[in-house]
A and B are shown apart, each in its own frame.
Chain A
């Protein structure tokens, strides 16, 4: 086991005042006996984008689903804004790797779906949905069905749906993993731009080092199964001036390399 530069405890100590989500001593053992996570303690600072990064099977998606309330932890607890939570809540919205769009519903209905479930009147929820459809750049596709859209467009629908319920915390599970490289870059840039307007706390799962470094304020490296926090890194890229330029930044390349050196040892 690697000695971490910044221990999880340090992270917690420095992040406590502004933590939107706190993960405390989370362990997860599946019914089959597989231990996915072991004693994970982490803080997710409010208004920041934190990435969970690690080798496949390290339990990063499991952790995200526990935070979302879709899975119950075997041990430990989750606090959202200081309050312990059980199950999903209106404060968190999920973006799925496979988009999870209803194929029988239009873009408009899909985006408004979270509000529909809450019983918001049709006119009101559709107005909200239209606003976010515009925000993610899908104006004109309101009446389209998911199968008529490309993968990138489908995930824009997924993001719009998550934004429409106005949750403070966005949980994104490898949102761009099933999208081609060029589109993915565009989506990453658009996401960052969107977050400048929306001011959300984002927990982002990815297996791409480049993606993690590019989009994150903070990167949490998880070890191999059972997943534990191995390191926390802050890339400190400056996205405010030029989104494109960040990818050529030396800090970006160094950070990618540093993470690669850490993760390499987990690969057999």
Chain B
């Protein structure tokens, strides 16, 4: 989406540079990108290793110990077992809410009435401290799978809804004028202009929604009943296996990044012929 808006803005403001145009951000040659990435990882993990070796706290493991623990947990199937459990509420929640949330956001973008009664709800939901709300879910939905699915939905729905809504509302007015001047029906305008134009933000919302959903499921697993990775974290903490506990946390970050990256790949492959 960033590319998309940049491209259309480029169209408005600068033409001197001709084809391609100049970038807002300086472009790093692609053959050197991996080097910078490597350096950035090295700095973070190096800092971690040093902090673990001082140590900043007896309970803070080194990066190397954490990686060893992560390897162990990968090899003995602990992680696979935990994620098999964690992804259930995550996938269920995402399936249930993503379609609904996109439709809702699109509806809010297209209709003032829908916007009027539902925008405040989602803005409040997005601003609400979810970690504080999740224990309350148990009052309504108990402590089972349902509660976790609800936690995932509560975390991800507002982001998806608001992004879809923004996507619709950000449709270039001149593209709308263009479709009107060529006598598009409202249906054609929505299908051929508004939705494709909003798709970037909608997909970005879905990606952020998945990341938020992961946060939601982990929060639920930590705060409602310990299952999956939430159980790993709780358990390793209770028996003071801190490298394993940090490895579990690290695995969530890796899991979330991989999921988001895969989604982005899928989006580019399926819906972005122009890139």
Residues of A at under 8 Å CB distance from B? Answer: 65, 68-70, 88-90, 92-94, 96-105, 113-114, 116-118, 145-154, 165, 171, 178-180, 183
Contact = CB atoms under 8 A, between A and B. Distances in A.
A104 B181 CA distance: 19
A65 B174 CA distance: 11
B18 interface: yes
B180 A100 contact: no
B180 A88 contact: yes
B261 interface: no
Contact of B15 (A89, A96, A145, A180): A180
B192 interface: yes
Interface stretch (B4-12, B43-51, B61-69, B221-229): B4-12
Interface string B231-266: 000000000000000000000000000000000000
A153 B20 CA distance: 12
B183 interface: yes
B34 interface: no
20 contacts: A70-B180, A70-B181, A88-B181, A88-B183, A92-B181, A94-B178, A94-B181, A98-B8, A98-B11, A98-B12, A98-B172, A101-B11, A102-B196, A104-B199, A104-B272, A147-B274, A148-B19, A151-B18, A152-B15, A154-B11
A89 B11 contact: no
Given A68-B181, A70-B177, A113-B182, A103 B13 contact: no
Interface in B164-209: 172, 174-175, 177-185, 188, 192-193, 196-197, 199
Nearest to A183: B15
B183 to A, nearest CB: 5
Nearest to B181: A94
Nearest to B272: A104
Which of A102, A171, A178, A183 has the most chain B CB atoms inside 10 A of its CB?
A102
B7 A150 contact: no
B174 A114 contact: no
A99 B274 contact: no
B95 to A, nearest CB: 26
B272 to A, nearest CB: 8
